[in-house]
Amino acid sequence: MKISPNWIRDLVSPAATDRDVAEALTVSGIAIEGYFGEGADQTWEAEITTNRVDAMNHYGVAREVSAIYDVDLAPLAPTVAECGPANFPILIEDAEGCARYTARIVRGVKVAPAPAKIAHRLELIEQRSISNVADASNYVLNEIGHPTHAFDLDKLEGGKIIVRRARAGETITTLDGVERKLLPEDLVIADAVKPVAIAGVMGGEATMITFSTHNVLVESAWFDPASIRRTARRLGMHTDASHRYERGADPGITQLACARVAELIVASAGGSVSAEVDAVARTLAQPRIALASSEVKRILGVEIPPAEIARILHRLGFKVEGSGPEFHITVPTWRLDVEREIDLIEEVARIYSFLKIPNTLPSFAGGVIELPNARKQAALRSRLLSLGYNESLSSTFIPQEDARYFAVSAGAAEPVRIANPLSEEASFMRTTLVPGLLLQVAYNLNRGNSDVRLFEAGHVYAMRGEAVDEHNSLAFVSTGGARPSGVHGKPEPLSFFHVKGDIEQLLAAFTAPGVTFDRTVPAWLHPGRAARAQIAGNTVAIFGQLHPEVAAARKLKQDVFIAVVFVEALYQLALRQPAYTPISRYPAIERDFSFVLPEGVEFESIRHKLAALSIAELTAILPAETFRGGSLAAGSYSFLLRVRFQSAERTLRDDEVANWSQQIVSAVETLGGSLRQ
């Protein structure tokens, strides 16, 4: 809010420059964050935290100055010459919603533009000057912080004010010209016939002050914060009045504020003021709190002399009983935020100044405990970085169709919907990291970045009954060249096998006995170029080429490879602990076999057959080359198999190598293969 330092100086006179005062206020909790204008017309932009509604006005800020500089605050004592009783009953039907309603009637006013001084001050703090009567209320709001309202008395029907809940079906057109439907939970100010204001939020158009108004009823009330907040929120209204009532206005100031408004009206618009009508439905207790100097020390870590504690609280308007080390403190009516000893300690600390409290370091016994999967997570991350994938972050939110389509597990659970999403495209929580990464691939391709390698680790979500299941996931995506083209050679296009190699590098970080690959993959992957990796029956990854139709639908004009790693399954496995195996001193023997195989016989089945031979000295089974076409019959292909034999204990004999070679040929023959002639 805007503060005029010149106005502050009407209320308190510290021996310091405005700039020093602003800085002292900032250090004490009223943050002055901007300076505008010069001299008497200078204003400050003050950032006042939501709990400090008492300081959202000049008098409140002046009170802070008084405490900081230990100087007196000018008393507020409006004077009005009362001309007789108001004869205007106030009935509070809802004591919960309205604790107190104070009113005065000013008769015979002449509504006109506001006097220059008032108009100028309001304009300085960016308030619009309307008329002498309306401005009186607004001036008081900014002076002492209490919201008041002025009704055109002659538009109030039935000669009374009733504070009540709205009746079903009632409506009111507010000052801003909008007709509002009221609910029975809304607190209203009504005359004998109709609602004339939404209590604490905005007055009604029908009873507003106009230039033909002669008689005015000034309202100064205290409304329950929760009630005001509920109504204001429901109606989407946020006014200066509701802002303060929601946060807790001062229940002890209604009479003073009412008199002050009346005083200003008479001074600027003439008229005569009635006696006050003060309806009190209930009184709010003023807490009396025990405060111990020892507790101040325990929390702040610094000894503040009892006299200093008493002085600070007294200057802030607290009633201080005792002289320490124990005090009894009565909280002023304007500090609804202060209820406990700790709240008093904060008051003392901030005026004493946080900066004067010495920095210390706590002593500490105990060790740092690592998260259970921290090392596994770090291993995956560092391997992906080493493999050349850039770490990325994508949105948590995806469109509904993606949430369902890209779900990776069979019998996928219900995706999680957001009640108040930012947009339709962001209305579901991601069920997998795939759509987010595909969006990023598209972003890159659209900008001419044709080589993309990204990974993301993050949570994915699904409903589980009433609860939301949240899992760690990891995905990586690549497109473009494994090696870019250029002066150094031909480009090497990415393939399924690059991704498979990367998956194998990741799995190699773990103690992963027997990784198996099969073709059970979701529909969004290319059915012929995708695989699922499993360890001991648990899926640890699915990966491969994005289905060309999915790529086309997303306008991805090059092959995209993507992998999803089920990290929580991997985390069940221990990290591989490297251990040394002695390197054989005896030579290895390599043998090549050129087979012709029927189409459909996969390398894995050959590897499996050869492993089943249980030849301890068979140390490597390598697919060296495949070839199709030429003189080969359709439905068959040639396959060059390279194997390596080695013993840790001896040099191998030719006859045993020949014997094993024969076993290998026989094994491949059982798959329909034959040695090429």
Partner 1 sequence: MYTVPKLEDFSPAALDAAAAELLAALVAESHAAADPRSFEEFRNRWMARKNGVLTQVNDLWLKAAPSPAKRDVGQRVNALKQRAEALVAEAEQLAATAALGSKLKSETIDISLPGIERPLGVRHPVLRTLDELISVFVKMGYSVAEGPEVESDYYNFEALNFPPNHPARDTQDTLFIANQEQRAQRDRLLLRTHTSPVQIRTMEKLVPPVRVICPGKVHRNDAPDATHSPVFHQLEGLCVDTNITFGDLKGTLDHAMKSLFGSAVKTSFRPSFFPFTEPSVEVSISCPFCGGKGCRPCKQSGWIELLGAGMVDPNVFGFVDYDPKKLSGFAFGMGVERLAMMTYNVDDIQQFFYGDMRFLEQFA
583, 585, 587, 592 alpha-carbon torsion, rounded to 10°: -20
Distance separating the N- and C-terminal Cα atoms of the chain: 93
Between residue 368 and residue 387, which ones bind partner 1 under the rule CB under 8 A? 368-371, 374, 384-387
Find the part of the chain contacting partner 1 (CB under 8 A) among 109-117, 278-286, 298-306, 614-622: 298-306
Between residue 44 and residue 73, which ones bind partner 1 under the rule CB under 8 A? 49-52
127, 132, 137, 142 alpha-carbon torsion, rounded to 10°: 40
Q: Does 452 bind partner 1 (CB under 8 A)?
A: yes
Q: Does 426 bind partner 1 (CB under 8 A)?
A: yes
Find the part of the chain contacting partner 1 (CB under 8 A) among 13-21, 264-272, 453-461, 654-662: 453-461
Backbone angles phi, psi at 502, to 5 degrees: -65, -40
Q: Does 490 bind partner 1 (CB under 8 A)?
A: no
Tell me the longest C-alpha to C-alpha distance in the chain: 130
Q: With CA atoms as reference, report the closest residue to 45 among 36, 37, 53.
A: 36
527 alpha-carbon distance from chain centroid? 40
Q: Does 342 bind partner 1 (CB under 8 A)?
A: yes
Between residue 73 and residue 112, which ones bind partner 1 under the rule CB under 8 A? none
Please list, in sequence order, all residues whose beta carbon lies within 8 angstroms of the beta carbon of residue 328, skipping any fewer than 6 positions away. Answer: 288, 289, 290, 291, 320, 321, 322
Q: With CA atoms as reference, report the closest residue to 155 among 89, 206, 193.
A: 206
157 alpha-carbon distance from chain centroid? 49
Q: Does 393 bind partner 1 (CB under 8 A)?
A: yes
Q: Does 15 bind partner 1 (CB under 8 A)?
A: no
Please, what is the minimum distance in Å from the beta carbon of residue 6 to partner 1?
Answer: 24
Q: Binding residue for partner 1 (CB under 8 A) from 142, 444, 473, 646?
A: 444
Please, what is the minimum distance in Å from the beta carbon of residue 315 to partner 1?
Answer: 16
Q: Binding residue for partner 1 (CB under 8 A) from 79, 212, 360, 577?
A: 360
Which lies closer to partner 1 via its Cβ, residue 488 or residue 653? Answer: 488
Please list, in sequence order, all residues whose beta carbon lies within 8 angstroms of the beta carbon of residue 312, skipping any fewer than 6 positions away. Answer: 67, 347, 348, 351, 352
Which lies closer to partner 1 via its Cβ, residue 173 or residue 449? Answer: 449
Q: Does 231 bind partner 1 (CB under 8 A)?
A: no
Between residue 153 and residue 212, which ones bind partner 1 under the rule CB under 8 A? none
Find the part of the chain contacting partner 1 (CB under 8 A) among 54-62, 106-114, 208-216, 394-402: 394-402
HSE (side-chain half, CA atoms, 13 Å) at 418: 17
Find the part of the chain contacting partner 1 (CB under 8 A) among 464-472, 535-543, 572-580, 632-640: 464-472
Kindly state the number of chain residues that form the binding site for partner 1, as judged by CB under 8 A: 89
Binding mask 246-265 for partner 1 (x = CB under 8 A): xx------------------
Binding mask 19-38 for partner 1 (x = CB under 8 A): -------xxxx-x-------
Find the part of the chain contacting partner 1 (CB under 8 A) among 325-333, 450-458, 536-544, 583-591: 450-458
DSSP 298-346: HHHSS---HHHHHHHHHHTT-EEES-SSEEEEEPPTT-TT--SHHHHHH
Q: Does 424 bind partner 1 (CB under 8 A)?
A: no
Q: Binding residue for partner 1 (CB under 8 A) from 288, 340, 519, 585?
A: 340
CA 133/CA 154 separation, integer angstroms: 15
Please, what is the minimum distance in Å from the beta carbon of residue 318 to partner 1?
Answer: 16
Find the part of the chain contacting partner 1 (CB under 8 A) among 70-78, 169-177, 335-343, 583-591: 335-343
Q: Does 365 bind partner 1 (CB under 8 A)?
A: yes
Which lies closer to partner 1 via its Cβ, residue 416 or residue 521? Answer: 416
Please list, in sequence order, all residues whose beta carbon lies within 8 angstroms of the beta carbon of residue 19, skipping any fewer than 6 positions away. Answer: 35
Residue with tokens 């002669």: 214
Q: Does 581 bind partner 1 (CB under 8 A)?
A: no
Backbone angles phi, psi at 557, to 5 degrees: -90, 15
Type of residue numbered 238: H
Asked if residue 71 lies in contact with residue 13, where contact means CB atoms within 8 angstroms, the answer is: yes
Please, what is the minimum distance in Å from the beta carbon of residue 133 to partner 1?
Answer: 30
Q: With residue 148 as reference, give the H or E element that holds it.
A: strand 148-152
Q: Does 422 bind partner 1 (CB under 8 A)?
A: yes
Residue 288, burial from CB neighbour count under 10 angstroms (0-12, 13-18, 19+):
exposed
Which lies closer to partner 1 via its Cβ, residue 321 or residue 469? Answer: 469
Which lies closer to partner 1 via its Cβ, residue 267 or residue 342? Answer: 342
Please, what is the minimum distance in Å from the beta carbon of residue 360 to partner 1?
Answer: 4
